[in-house]
Amino acid sequence: MQSVGIYEAKSRFSALIELVEQGEEVRITRHGKEVVRMLPVRRRPVISDEQIARELGQIDALHASIQPAGASTVDVLRRTGRSGA
């Protein structure tokens, strides 16, 4: 991690950007207090293709395990709801 004042950061901006691109963290200060933190951008996705495929498979398995309500179940629920009102 490198810490520089604003004036120095303005003078060395390109060099500081290169440091950040190489993975370094750069902090810019004003009167000794940190006001900016430059971090490298993540190049890799947060979740991998394998994780996405696994999650989608679990969703498909959940959908397959859910039984749709039959017509008789719906009728019973309607009658119960009306009689309870």
83 lies in a domain?
Answer: no
Task: Tell me what percent of the residues of the chain surpass a pLDDT of 90.
Answer: 59
Range of the domain at 46: 1-64
pTM for the full predicted model: 0.49
4 lies in a domain?
Answer: yes
CATH number at residue 13: 3.40.1620.10
Nearest-angstrom CA–CA distance, 23 and 68 = 52
Question: How do residues 5-35 score in pLDDT, each as one tens digit?
Answer: 999 999 999 999 999 999 899 999 999 999 9
Q: In the chain, how many domains are there? A: 1
- As given in the structure block, the two tokens for residue 73 are 């179940």
Q: What is the pLDDT of residue 71?
A: 64
Nearest-angstrom CA–CA distance, 59 and 28 = 46
